[in-house]
Structure 1
Amino acid sequence: MINFEFYNPARIIFGKDTESQAGKQISKFGKRVLLHYGGGSVKANGVYDKVVKSLKEEGLFFVELSGVVPNPRLSLVREGIELCKKNNLDFVLAVGGGSVIDSAKAIAAGVRYSGDVWELYMDNSKLAGLTEALPVGVVLTIPAAGSESSTASVITNEEGWLKRAINTEVVIPKFAVLNPESSYTLPAYQTACGASDIFAHLMERYFTQEPNVDFTDRLIEANMRTILNNAPLALKNPNDYNVRAEIMWAGAVAHNNLLNTGRIGDWGSHDIEHEISGAYDIAHGAGLSIVFPAWMKYVYKQNVDKFIQFAMRVFNVDFSFDDKEKIVFEMIERLEAWYVRMGLPIRLSDVNIGSERIREMADKCMVGRTHVGNFQKLKADDIYEIYKLAL
């Protein structure tokens, strides 16, 4: 176990009807708010009306910026930055899922950054000069990205369709309202993609080369099993509060950095997937369900015992230890079967993507980087082979 610091100041406000507390929480940090959201879903499910009511009750001034799409766009981020500066806004409230939250974080960072915000995403060393951002709050409607209490933000630049991330404590939300009821109306595919994203965050942390991390291994395994068990139930009974609550809380804990402690995660699969969703604009969770099995097939020999542990503890594979590869590939089959049960793709061909651009995506993945991943440090040729395994 390596040395670590753990810090997460995000206040979690969890439960029924908690949207009504948004205005009160914001008033602790600011008075002039950018209300940031996506399309019509937050209005259709009533969350928008509850949030606006809470803002008015606190006497807060607010300006709205809607239009966030999956794989949130840099152009809208720049629009939000200008709105904040023009209206002297001092708080950004994200109402929605991970894309809205990531966009809000980028706006909050961009307002305080002296250069163009995209510089931070292309060159993470510049984050050292970002000492503050506008405070951000969240009303979560889609459990998936875990961005509601994380250091991360991922944005797509339409010029070149590069998808890149930042990680910095200054964009950790000040609070996050989590009402499982707000996820009742999610389409089944969006629920499935969200579960895939949560599970991927757990696997990225789990597959480490750092020894003696049994405590966090077991925390991650418990979270994984929670998602494996509850996500299919959410598809069968969308209005089951208890099921939705398990998923929503598991998603937040999966990505608030608690499960990073003492270990170095991988994150190669996320970088590899970002090129797929950046080029083809597919759902991030769907891209992850395609990439992860292929990544596993390519890297498992780097530490086969970690994969054996994962197979036994998470997927209950109980085969003879004499054939380790059989255990690993049985686990991969069970993971793929879970994805399929959830209605998710497990091959590029499942989403009508062929081999035409996989070399291009592998090369683009390396732009601004020396490698991706930590379990095995991957270069462009390695990424190309993983894409081939995903066909």
Structure 2
Amino acid sequence: MENFQYVNPTKLIFGRNQVNDSLAGEVEAYGTRVLLVYGGGSIKKNGLYELVLEQLNLISNVQIVELSGVEPNPRLSTVNKGIQLIKENQLDFILAVGGGSVIDCAKAISVGAHYDGDVWDFVTGKAAPSSSIPLGTILTMAATGSEMNGNSVITNWDERDKRAFSSIHTYPKFSILDPQNTFSIPADQTVYGIVDLMSHVLEQYFHVSENAPVQERFGESILKTTIETAPKLLESPESYAYREVIMLNATFALNNMLSMGVKTDWATHMIEHAVSAVHDIPHGGGLAILFPHWMELVSETKPERVAQLGIRVFELDPANKNTRELAYETIQKLKEFWKTIGAPTKLSDYGIDNKEIDLMVKRSIVNKTIGNYVPLGENEVRQILERAL
């Protein structure tokens, strides 16, 4: 295990009716001039928008400015709109109501509002945030874990580039997680969230550090619980019991607890970011397609962890099978599970062919290689993309 320090400053407020019980007091502790950030309008259809306004208006002298229409792959142009609204109206708090895309956009706005340069500098690593506008969230989709981490993924559509950055300054001050607010999520979005949370676990499960049984067993428990619960949830989408399990799983999958003391991978996410930067597909859909092909490639040289996953999570019988056979069977089980719940299986499901594969490879390779479990160069990334077509 590697040496590590762990800090997570986000206050998690979980359970029924927590918007009613907690929102006004939590916001008022940080400010009264609020930028309300949300997506395409689903919160207006399910009543959450009205509830949020009602609670915010309990704050004395509150001022609310809205930024709506955040894209599923949030764009730099939208981030810049939010920064402009903050500065023009001298706002002192950001409330993000939505899923990971809305929260990621709000995070970039929060640090960009305190920066005189281009906020894209933070995304590309040319600069690092030193302060931010305080941010709170109300989660409406279980997927990214953005409600309890400092990560943000932003798309520069003009450059057809999509990248992630992280900072202690982009952790939400609080996040309200009421599973009832996920009841109206469409089935395909629920599936994408399930794939995303499982992929987050896998990116950390395939680490390169020694002696990390706690981290591995914790990740396996999240995967097993998700595999058990997901089909039931899709059959009963308004089940509070199933929604709360998936919601908490998604939070634990990426609040940095699984990465304590280990060097993680993240190559598949970087490849998917490149694909969705060029083709604007759903992130979870892209991961469902790409992750099994990444596992196939790395199993050619390091099948041991893949085989372990199969034995412990998919309960494969190791008798009379070698490690590579177990790894292959594990990958087939993962493919089968994701296909069964309705996830896509190939890039052509989104109309993607090999015409822009060179650009996707280029956008994937931020450094000379990506990933740690098996470092990948351009040739390996190309193989994964070609297999995924």
Q: TM-score, normalised by structure 1?
A: 0.97
Partner Cα separation in structure 2 for residue 360 and residue 163 of structure 1: 12
CA contact (8 A) 1:348 1:354 kept: yes
Q: Deviation of residue 369 (structure 1)?
A: 2.1
How many residue pairs match? The answer is 387
Alignment of 1:3-22 (within 5 A): 3-20=3-20, 21-22=22-23
Q: Deviation of residue 281 (structure 1)?
A: 1.1
Structure 1 residues 389 and 56 mapped into 2: Cα distance closer, same or farther (>3 Å)? same
Aligned residue number for residue 28 of structure 2: 27
Q: Deviation of residue 351 (structure 1)?
A: 2.3
Aligned residue number for residue 170 of structure 1: 169
CA contact (8 A) 1:209 1:303 kept: no
Aligned residue number for residue 302 of structure 2: 303
Q: Specify the code of the residue in structure 1 equivalent to 2:31.
A: G
Aligned residue number for residue 103 of structure 2: 101
Aligned residue number for residue 201 of structure 2: 202
Aligned residue number for residue 352 of structure 2: 353
CA contact (8 A) 2:274 2:360 kept: yes
Partner Cα separation in structure 2 for residue 321 and residue 141 of structure 1: 46
After superposition, what is the alpha-carbon deviation per residue over 1:75-132, rounded to whole angstroms, capped at 9, x for unaligned? 010010010001000111100000000000000010112310011111x2521xx221
Q: Specify the code of the residue in structure 2 equivalent to 1:25.
A: E
Alignment of 1:337-376 (within 5 A): 337-366=336-365, 368-376=366-374
Alignment of 1:34-73 (within 5 A): 34-59=35-60, 60-73=62-75
Partner Cα separation in structure 1 for residue 160 and residue 287 of structure 2: 18
CA contact (8 A) 1:138 1:176 kept: yes
Q: Does 1:115 align with 2:113?
A: no
Alignment of 1:1-391 (within 5 A): 1-20=1-20, 21-59=22-60, 60-122=62-124, 124=125, 126-127=127-128, 130-320=129-319, 322-366=321-365, 368-391=366-389
Q: What SS is found at the alignment partner of 1:62?
A: strand
Moved >3 Å (runs of 4+): none
Q: Which moved further from structure 2: 354-363 or 330-339?
A: 354-363
Q: Specify the code of the residue in structure 2 equivalent to 1:52.
A: L
Q: Specify the code of the residue in structure 2 equivalent to 1:390.
A: A
Q: TM-score, normalised by structure 2?
A: 0.97
CA contact (8 A) 1:18 1:179 kept: yes
Q: Specify the code of the residue in structure 2 equivalent to 1:82.
A: Q
Q: What SS is found at the alignment partner of 2:184?
A: coil
Structure 1 residues 226 and 376 mapped into 2: Cα distance closer, same or farther (>3 Å)? same
After superposition, what is the alpha-carbon deviation per residue over 1:127-165, rounded to whole angstroms, capped at 9, x for unaligned? 1xx221111100000011110011100000111210011
Partner Cα separation in structure 2 for residue 339 and residue 350 of structure 1: 14
CA contact (8 A) 1:24 1:54 kept: no
Partner Cα separation in structure 1 for residue 335 and residue 76 of structure 2: 33
After superposition, what is the alpha-carbon deviation per residue over 1:160-218, rounded to whole angstroms, capped at 9, x for unaligned? 21001111111000000000011111110000000011001000000011120001110
Q: Deviation of residue 338 (structure 1)?
A: 0.8
CA contact (8 A) 1:223 1:254 kept: yes
Q: Specify the code of the residue in structure 1 equivalent to 2:135.
A: V
CA contact (8 A) 1:302 1:375 kept: no
After superposition, what is the alpha-carbon deviation per residue over 1:34-60, rounded to whole angstroms, capped at 9, x for unaligned? 000001201111111111111101122
CA contact (8 A) 2:72 2:282 kept: yes
Structure 1 residues 337 and 267 mapped into 2: Cα distance closer, same or farther (>3 Å)? same
Q: What SS is found at the alignment partner of 1:156?
A: strand
Partner Cα separation in structure 2 for residue 370 and residue 359 of structure 1: 15
Q: Which moved further from structure 2: 77-86 or 320-329?
A: 320-329
Structure 1 stretches lacking a partner, 5+ long: none
After superposition, what is the alpha-carbon deviation per residue over 1:253-286, rounded to whole angstroms, capped at 9, x for unaligned? 1111011101111000000001111111111000
Partner Cα separation in structure 2 for residue 43 and residue 24 of structure 1: 23
Partner Cα separation in structure 2 for residue 234 and residue 285 of structure 1: 17
CA contact (8 A) 1:72 1:155 kept: yes
Partner Cα separation in structure 2 for residue 288 and residue 338 of structure 1: 14
Partner Cα separation in structure 1 for residue 246 and residue 100 of structure 2: 15
Q: Deviation of residue 320 (structure 1)?
A: 2.7
Q: Deviation of residue 321 (structure 1)?
A: 5.3
Q: What SS is found at the alignment partner of 2:57?
A: helix
CA contact (8 A) 2:41 2:69 kept: no
Structure 2 stretches lacking a partner, 5+ long: none
Q: Specify the code of the residue in structure 1 equivalent to 2:171.
A: I
CA contact (8 A) 2:141 2:193 kept: yes
Q: Deviation of residue 236 (structure 1)?
A: 0.2
Identity %: 40
CA contact (8 A) 1:17 1:179 kept: yes
Q: Deviation of residue 322 (structure 1)?
A: 4.1
Structure 1 residues 359 and 320 mapped into 2: Cα distance closer, same or farther (>3 Å)? farther
Q: Specify the code of the residue in structure 2 equivalent to 1:101.
A: I
CA contact (8 A) 2:299 2:324 kept: no
Q: Specify the code of the residue in structure 2 equivalent to 1:365.
A: S
Partner Cα separation in structure 2 for residue 364 and residue 275 of structure 1: 5
